[in-house]
Structure 1
Amino acid sequence: MQRYGKLLLSIGYLSAPFAGPGSAVITAAGWLSYGSESGKNHLSMIGLIGLLGVAGILSGTYVASLSGLQGAGGVLLLLYFALGVAAIWMLGSEHNNSALKAAAMLLAVSWLLAVAGASDISSATSAASGTVIDWGGVSWANAAAHNVIQKIGGSAAIAKALALLGAVLASFGFLSLNEARTGISHEETIFSIGTY
């Protein structure tokens, strides 16, 4: 049973809009715990990356001799956030959990809007494509959608709303993760008893 990992992930994602770095620690511990409880090492590795990222930032911030770790910790934590969204989608698909799949989509779109709303989106996409092309037309799409996004409330406001909704759905999804599987196993047991 993935009881503790599930609970930590649910609490961590629900607190994400309010707890800031604290929620990163809780969710990272949740992935680490969930991965070890379920025997899925790749999920444990995601949690480990998150905890190392937090440790790197804290060490670099508060220990002068380790200031170089702050940047490395930041990169690890950003990688952790991206891997976390992918892991939520994978778990949602694996367990046919609609709440987790919707949460992953909302969190991914929230991140995309947050990046698209940044002032240096053109330079970011140029850097990502090696300054050869506008990668996938992201800058082009961003320029075309700019006025509509501003009328709705701005990309930052929309990104926050989507992230909040995604966090709530992720929390609910983690809490209900094994219920569907348990129901199936009970039905299978009943049908197997009926065959004798």
Structure 2
Amino acid sequence: MQKFLIVGLGNPGNEYRHTRHNIGFDVVSAFVLKHNGMFQTVRLAEKAEVKWKGKLFICIKPTTYMNLSGKAFKYWLDAEKIPLENTLTIVDDLAIPIDSLRLRSGGSDGGHNGLRDIQLMLGTDKYPKLRFGIGNNYPKGMQADFVLAKWFPEELKLIWKKIEYCTEVIESFSTTGIEKTMNLVNGKKFSIEE
């Protein structure tokens, strides 16, 4: 059975629930819920296993805090013996508009502490990432407050729509591969009107 490691980045704890920085957790939770999985607290993460179309998805939400995400990623990658190209990391991205997503098979951490730690632990930036645009609607110097805050009420409809779409991206990534999925995702604009 083909195995995939789906990693949502975020911080554990109620004060971080549903904040912009925790969108990776929210996407992975939505994927697991869609496929009737259940999370359990295990070593370094909350983990759920999902079986779908003859594939096994090991879904994790690291409990190491964002800046040490690499520890959980590497541990479960090795423990489950999953090839790096069969991993997908979901992460918030300030540089991407709120109406967009970006899927890449590799690429720099872009100043994101979670990605930086994964890159450090793996010794490479060549692993697939789904970047969830959170926009940059904050006053100068307020970046940290912005990413650790909850969504504005008027954004929520759009965010839930994107989360739902991300669950399909994970499915497509596992069935048709990253290249075809990138064609669907990159360049797509989301709006609440549709």
What TM-score, normalized by structure 1, do the two folds share?
0.30
Task: Say which structure is richer in strand.
Answer: 2
Q: Greater relative contact order (Cα 8 A, min sep 6): structure 1 or 2?
A: 2
Task: Say which structure is richer in helix.
Answer: 1
What TM-score, normalized by structure 2, do the two folds share?
0.30
Q: Which has more radius of gyration?
A: 1
